[in-house]
């Protein structure tokens, strides 16, 4: 389904967006209870530092697979001062091309009880779980990606090109969650097998047959993950390379042993090679932890297309512009694939852009028809959005229309 919008005197078509029309929080971060309603248009959240603007974006980011924009532990999402056995919750009504859907997620109450009963000693060894609901029916966080898609940019991501490869892998995986609905399930299965193999090797008394089974799972899921990442990077590059006005074109590529294997041989042979590598590295992995081979070692490389320069060698301003360009390209690809533009969560993005790039970003976002949520300390930063957005003043545990 496509919708038409009047932009600068002419009608433009764009995929129907996802739009959050109601957000409810319970004992989440700084909010004891919050209910916020929108008319489905873009949202601007403004208020002083520490008011809770990013907390609202984080709540929305938990409506897709993964650990949200801060990658916080479940216990850390609970409102400070709430009882330890209390469970935080996030719920939203979302307008889609097919009608309204109700989404929810929250902390597993059984996990809260375990933490209280066992005084935290075993908490680190217990995988954190959160619950999910779709239209009132019990579901899983991984399945939320089938009905909801969201992308985000935060100040912490400014170092994406400079820090370790894990952040870049997560960035790409989040993009893929909106494109390939089985990817989250594969990543979760691979990571569970990876953790279990590492635990058994550290214990030093692993059953070889059980290790064989885990490594078989890692090989099959790992090669599928890498193949999906390679394809996604190519598809994103096809759109991102052209750039978006003052935001430069970007080219993405995957590097790693599994990716190298896939470039040289069929997927089944790449699986056999990875399985053999895992078998041969058991001794070293028992000493170092983790695994020496697999897609968890891969890296996403990004290049400034015009300059043919690696992103980590670009200026700080160019890196920020490349990041924004990639997110716009991913949003465009998701809209094309799903026929529905994803929700965009942009935390403190406008404050670090000059007036040219800020205006270009606002214009592009508005033209896509996507609902986007922006945060900033001053309302004036978003002045040229005018009536194209709804404004909310955030503070004292509330978000009030302004």
Q: What tens digit of pLDDT does each residue of 315-347 get?
A: 999 999 999 999 999 999 999 998 888 999 999
Q: What tens digit of pLDDT does each residue of 64-97 get?
A: 998 999 999 988 999 999 988 889 999 999 998 8
Statement: residue 12 has pLDDT above 50: no
CA distance 269 to 141: 32
Task: Identify the helix (H) or strand (E) that includes residue 199.
Answer: helix 183-203
Confidence of residue 228 (pLDDT cuts 50, 70, 90): very high
Length of the chain: 402
Q: What tens digit of pLDDT does each residue of 144-192 get?
A: 998 999 999 999 999 999 999 999 999 999 999 999 989 999 999 999 9
Share of the chain above pLDDT 90, in %: 80
**Mean per-residue pLDDT, 132-147:** 93
SS (H, E, C) 231-249: HHHHHHHHHHCCCECCECC
* Boundaries of every domain in the chain: 1-149+342-402, 161-339
Residue 83's contacts (CB-CB under 8 Å, 6 or more residues apart) are none
* Closest by Cα among 283, 273, 270, 293 to 208: 283
φ/ψ region of 367 (left if φ > 0, alpha if ψ in -120 to 50, else beta) reads alpha
Domain 161-339's class? mainly alpha
The CA–CA distances, whole Å, from 263 to 233, 236, 267 equal: 14, 19, 9
Contact 399, 392 (CB under 8 A): yes
φ/ψ region of 270 (left if φ > 0, alpha if ψ in -120 to 50, else beta) reads alpha
For residue 303, list its beta bridge partners: 251, 310
Q: Which CATH superfamily is domain 1-149+342-402 in?
A: P-loop containing nucleotide triphosphate hydrolases (3.40.50.300)
The Cα diameter of the chain in Å comes to: 72
Confidence of residue 111 (pLDDT cuts 50, 70, 90): low
Q: What tens digit of pLDDT does each residue of 186-227 get?
A: 999 999 999 999 999 999 877 999 999 999 999 999 999 999
Statement: residue 1 has pLDDT above 80: no
- Looking at per-residue confidence, does 171 or 15 come out higher? 171
């Amino acid at each position: 389904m496509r919708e038409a919008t009047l932009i600068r005197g002419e009608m433009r078509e764009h995929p129907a967006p996802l739009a959050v029309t109601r957000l409810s929080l319970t004992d989440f971060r700084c909010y004891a209870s919050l209910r916020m309603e929108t008319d489905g248009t873009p949202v601007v959240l403004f208020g002083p530092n520490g008011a809770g603007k990013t907390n609202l974006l984080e709540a929305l980011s938990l409506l897709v697979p993964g650990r949200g924009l801060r990658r916080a532990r479940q216990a850390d999402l609970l409102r400070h001062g709430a009882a330890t056995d209390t469970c935080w919750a996030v719920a939203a009504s979302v307008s889609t091309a097919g009608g309204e859907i109700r989404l929810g997620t929250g902390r597993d109450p059984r996990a809260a009880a375990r933490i209280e009963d066992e005084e935290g000693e075993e908490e680190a060894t217990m995988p954190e779980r959160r619950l999910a609901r779709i239209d009132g029916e019990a579901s899983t966080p991984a399945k939320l990606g089938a009905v909801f898609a969201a992308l985000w940019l935060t100040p912490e991501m400014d170092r994406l090109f400079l820090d370790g490869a894990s952040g870049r892998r997560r960035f790409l995986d989040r993009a893929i969650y909106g494109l390939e609905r089985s990817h989250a399930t594969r990543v979760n299965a691979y990571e569970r097998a990876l953790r279990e193999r590492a635990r058994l090797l550290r214990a030093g008394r692993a059953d070889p047959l059980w290790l064989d089974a885990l490594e078989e799972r890692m090989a099959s899921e790992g090669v599928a993950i890498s193949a999906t990442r390679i394809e996604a990077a190519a598809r994103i590059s096809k759109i991102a390379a052209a750039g978006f006005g003052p935001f430069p074109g970007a080219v993405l590529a995957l590097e790693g042993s599994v990716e190298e294997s896939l470039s040289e041989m069929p997927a089944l042979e790449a699986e056999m090679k990875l399985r053999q590598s895992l078998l041969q590295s058991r001794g070293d992995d028992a000493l170092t932890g983790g695994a020496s081979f697999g897609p968890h070692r891969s890296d996403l490389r990004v290049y400034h297309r015009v300059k043919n320069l690696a992103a980590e060698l670009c200026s700080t301003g160019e890196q920020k512009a490349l990041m924004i360009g990639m997110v716009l390209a991913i949003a465009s690809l998701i809209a094309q694939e799903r026929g529905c533009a994803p929700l965009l969560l942009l935390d403190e993005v406008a404050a670090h852009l000059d007036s040219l790039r800020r205006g270009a970003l606002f214009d592009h976002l508005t033209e896509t028809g996507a609902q986007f949520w922006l945060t900033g300390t001053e309302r004036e930063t978003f002045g040229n959005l005018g009536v194209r957005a709804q404004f909310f003043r955030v503070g004292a545990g509330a978000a009030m229309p302004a």
